[in-house]
């Protein structure tokens, strides 16, 4: 889908919801904790949000219907995928093609010094955002952008390869700073190229969407994000992105942490949940709400035949403190999503069941028609490590993808009898749950 079409379609629905709400940009921006100019850019199609969480909060503030929420997420996925391809193309531009008239001295000055290379830990930005140097010739700016982008990609891959594939979320684990919201995806029956965990694949610049980890494929075959016609017949024609720290509503979301209330930061907004969890070594408490985005990598139809829950380990529930994300006195909205499923991890053989009124598998996806699935995993008697297996088929090809949390299983623990805390509005710390007096 052309970039202008994807971004314009996404912005058009945002504007429709905003106009229908009757709220001004200033009022909405204040409630969303963002600047008015940023909200303007989203609604005008000048920018696409890097995360979906603020988009969903905006839609809910504007009283979007469940069908509109699904359509909005679909349009955001397409717009975000186009932006991801644009960023990858910028990263792959050779310095000599960035512009003419660059002499040896300019080329040398365009290379990032070691200190600068070490700090390049973020994904490469689009050229329009990167070319902000003052007093630098356009050709040199583009050369510098291409070099820095390449270094950033290489640094990201090297960082991911060095991460452990499993373990707990203890504070000493350096893997705490990696993007925990992306899915680790592995193809069934393929031999690993190395002993590195599946999370190393998530740093591949060939991913069609931000945070999407392509499946590992045999040597010589195209990755999951390969363009149609370039070895795709031997690759995996579908990508999966998992967001394990999505919230159905703040009122339903809780986390267990092995820290006293005095050492805990205030509850975050949904888009900051992954970083908050990582900073505290926290674990989803009582239930985990998982958002899965499944998208084809080409125009052909891919059938998603089903999702299977696999348990990697069960233990006694964690004896940690239980922290509620909702501020007392704040109303919690939340509509019933389509493509919603539930699973009890307490069961001997956990399996997904559609929520009332929802269809069951199979579903069809393609590059222009992704699907979004919402999974609620509940548990009370155990601390459970688990992951998903997604079965797909396309023509005479079929396979299974393992979906997890960046090479580690998802983790959800029961919370019965655990000390529970909440954070009052206007307060300066956590207090035992139920002790807050509402005005």
Q: What angle do CA 334, 74, 213 make, to 5 degrees?
A: 105
Q: What is the pLDDT of residues 164-209, one digit of tens each?
A: 333 333 333 333 333 333 344 444 433 333 333 333 333 333 333 3
Q: What is the pLDDT of residues 210-241, one digit of tens each?
A: 333 333 333 333 333 333 333 344 489 999 99
Name the domain boundary from 72, 91, 110: 91
- Residue 212 and residue 64 share a domain: no
Structural domain contains residue 162: no
> CATH number of the domain that 25 lies in?
1.10.260
- Residue 360 and residue 228 share a domain: yes
Q: What is the pLDDT of residues 369-395, one digit of tens each?
A: 999 999 999 999 999 999 999 999 999
Tokens standing for residue 288: 């985990």
Q: Which of 255, 236, 257 is nearest to 245 (CA)?
A: 255
Structural domain contains residue 145: no
Range of 386's domain?
Answer: 174-432
The predicted pLDDT at position 331 comes to: 52
Q: Determine the average pLDDT of the residues in 12-37.
A: 87
Residue 140 has pLDDT above 70, yes or no: no
Structural domain contains residue 30: yes
- Residue 186 and residue 74 share a domain: no
- Residue 73 and residue 178 share a domain: no
The predicted pLDDT at position 115 comes to: 39
The predicted pLDDT at position 86 comes to: 63
Structural domain contains residue 28: yes
Name the domain boundary from 25, 60, 91: 91
Structural domain contains residue 356: yes
Q: What is the pLDDT of residues 276-332, one digit of tens each?
A: 999 999 999 999 999 999 999 999 999 999 999 999 999 999 999 999 987 665 556
| 132 contact partners, CB below 8 Å, separation of at least 6 | none
43: three-class secondary structure by DSSP: helix
Using DSSP, how many helices (H) and how many strands (E) does the chain show?
10, 16
Q: Is 393 exposed, middle or buried (0-12, 13-18, 19+ CB in 10 A)?
A: middle
- Residue 78 and residue 178 share a domain: no
Residue 439 has pLDDT above 80, yes or no: no
The predicted pLDDT at position 128 comes to: 40
Structural domain contains residue 220: yes
Residue 264 has pLDDT above 80, yes or no: yes
Residues forming beta bridges with residue 400, ordered by sequence position: 391
Q: What is the pLDDT of residues 39-78, one digit of tens each?
A: 888 999 888 988 888 888 888 888 888 788 888 888 888 8
Q: What is the pLDDT of residues 325-340, one digit of tens each?
A: 876 655 565 555 679 9
Structural domain contains residue 254: yes
Structural domain contains residue 107: no
Indicate the number of domains in the chain: 2
- Residue 191 and residue 84 share a domain: no
Q: Rounded to the nearest 5°, which phi and psi values hold at 378? A: -110, 150
């Amino acid at each position: 889908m052309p970039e202008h079409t994807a971004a314009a379609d996404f912005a058009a629905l945002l504007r429709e919801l905003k106009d229908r709400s009757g709220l001004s940009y200033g009022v909405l921006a204040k409630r969303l904790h963002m600047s008015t100019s940023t909200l303007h850019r989203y609604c005008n199609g000048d920018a696409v949000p890097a995360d979906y969480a603020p988009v969903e909060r905006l839609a809910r503030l504007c009283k979007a219907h469940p069908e509109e929420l699904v359509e909005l997420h679909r349009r955001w996925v397409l717009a975000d995928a186009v932006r991801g391809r644009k960023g990858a193309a910028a990263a792959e531009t050779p310095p000599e093609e960035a512009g003419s008239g660059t002499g040896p001295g300019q080329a040398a000055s365009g290379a990032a010094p070691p200190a600068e290379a070490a700090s390049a830990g973020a994904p490469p930005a689009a050229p329009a955002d990167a070319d902000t140097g003052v007093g630098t010739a356009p050709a040199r700016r583009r050369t510098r952008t291409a070099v820095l982008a390449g270094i950033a990609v290489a640094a990201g891959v090297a960082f991911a390869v060095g991460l452990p594939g499993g373990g707990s979320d203890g504070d000493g684990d350096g893997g705490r700073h990696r993007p925990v919201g992306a899915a680790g995806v592995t193809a069934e029956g393929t031999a690993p190229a190395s002993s590195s965990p599946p999370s190393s694949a998530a740093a591949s610049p060939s991913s069609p969407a931000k945070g999407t980890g392509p499946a590992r494929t045999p040597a010589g075959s195209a990755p999951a994000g390969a363009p149609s016609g370039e070895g795709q017949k031997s690759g995996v024609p579908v990508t999966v992105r998992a967001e394990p720290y999505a919230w159905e509503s703040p009122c339903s979301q809780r986390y267990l942490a092995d820290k006293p209330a005095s050492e805990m930061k205030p509850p975050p907004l949904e888009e900051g949940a992954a970083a908050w969890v990582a900073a505290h070594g926290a674990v989803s408490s009582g239930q985990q709400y998982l958002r899965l985005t499944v998208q084809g990598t080409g125009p052909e139809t891919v059938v998603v035949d089903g999702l299977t829950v696999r348990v990697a380990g069960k233990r006694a529930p964690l004896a940690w403190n239980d922290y509620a994300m909702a501020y007392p006195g704040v109303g919690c909205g939340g509509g019933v999503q389509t493509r919603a499923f539930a699973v009890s991890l307490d069961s001997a053989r956990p399996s997904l069941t559609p929520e009332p009124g929802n269809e069951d598998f199979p579903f069809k996806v393609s590059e222009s028609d992704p699907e979004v699935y919402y999974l609620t995993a509940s548990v009370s008697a155990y601390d459970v490590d688990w992951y998903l297996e997604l079965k797909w088929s396309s023509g005479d090809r079929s396979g299974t993808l393992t979906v997890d949390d960046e090479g580690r299983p998802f983790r959800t623990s029961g919370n019965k009898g655990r000390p529970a805390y909440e954070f009052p509005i206007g307060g300066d710390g956590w207090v035992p749950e139920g002790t807050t007096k509402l005005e």
